[in-house]
Amino acid sequence: MSDAPSPEWIDAYLDQMLVHLDGRARNVRRILAETEAHLEDAYAAARAEGLDPDRAAIRAVERFGAPAAVARRFQPDGRAALGALTALAAAALLLIGVGLVAIGVSGVVSMVMRSTLGSSFVAGDLDGVTYTPERCADFLEYHPEADSCGAAAAAHHADEVETYRVAAGVLGLFVLAAYFVWHRVRPRSGATLARLPLAVLPAVGAATFGAAGVLLSLEGLSVLLGSGRPAGPGQWLSGGVVALVVAAGFDVLLLRSLMRPTPIAA
């Protein structure tokens, strides 16, 4: 057979091998070149048996074995374990960065809620909560425009909700920036996350942010719909809405990763 190997399956396989290989560039190149030569031979043999191009390429890569497992056999044990730990640490760093930025965005949402629905909606106190005269004086010093101690306390608490969350968001941007700079400085580290099965990061993100979104939203709704004066449902709802949006983003990534064709499990 003179037709070229199907690039879709064999190239995808070689790409998966590459992300799981560590060590000297010369050695990595040799392993990939040998693997490619082998897969081309296996593909040609399968075509000679009458298989169509896709089936021939798929059989070639399946017979070679899962790319992650084959690549692991080329690595000393310690290096393979280190690679797996690095991939998990990178995934955790990325999730932490996204989480912190989401908290920052919820701070911005709190600001919008406050400007439209008032400070009490964001951080009002439960009925019956009282403050000492000294504490009231502190609140009124921060917010002299407030017409009562309770209003000044709500405004102060809303300040804290917004400030701390936005600060967390800025920290998250630094974390994400550090993550991407690291990949720029060390190009091979760009493959770090790809060592994990494709669906792992979106699945963990969707589950974590989805659970957080549901819990925060339920808490906010119970405060909003509960008896008596609503005591700051906005601080919960702002977080819940943002968490659910982030979870939806991870859901889309998860769906894409599950629908993406792979010749053989990583």
Partner 1 sequence: MAPRQLKGHLDLLLLAVLDGGPRHGYAIIGSLRDRSEGEFDLPEGTVYPALHRLEEDGLVASRWSVIDGRRRRVYQLTGHGAAALVARRAEWASYTAGVDAVLGRIKPARATTRATA
Residues that bind partner 1 (CB under 8 A): 30-31, 33-35, 37-38, 40-42, 63-65, 67, 69-70, 73-74
Query: Rounded to the nearest whole angstrom, what is the least distance from the CB of residue 37 to partner 1 in the complex?
Result: 5
The CA-based angle 201-109-128, given to 5 degrees, is: 115
25 or 185: CB nearest partner 1: 25
Nearest approach in angstroms of CB 39 to partner 1 is 9
Tell me what percent of the chain is helix, strand and coil, each rounded to the nearest 5. Answer: 80, 0, 20
Shortest reach from residue 67's CB to partner 1, in Å: 8
Q: Which is nearer to partner 1, 14 or 105 (CB)?
A: 14
Coil, helix or strand at residue 121 = helix
Q: Which is nearer to partner 1, 33 or 117 (CB)?
A: 33
Backbone dihedral angles phi then psi of residue 63, each to the nearest 5 degrees: -70, -25
Single out the residue of 158, 148, 128, 113 nearest to residue 227, CA to CA: 128
Q: What contacts 202, CB < 8 A, 6 or more positions away?
A: 250, 251, 253, 254, 257
Which conformational region is residue 65 in: left (phi greater than 0), alpha (psi within -120 to 50 degrees), or beta? left
CB of 47 to partner 1, least distance (A): 14
Of the pair 75, 86, the CB lying nearest partner 1 is at 75
Q: How far is the CB of 46 from partner 1 (least distance, A)?
A: 12
Beta-carbon contacts of residue 29 (< 8 Å; ≥ 6 apart): none
- Distance of closest approach, residue 72 Cβ to partner 1, in angstroms: 9
Of 40 and 159, nearer to partner 1 (C-beta) is 40
Minimum CB distance to partner 1 smaller for 71 or for 254: 71
Backbone CA torsion sign across 218, 221, 226, 231: positive
Distance CA 98, CA 90 (A): 12
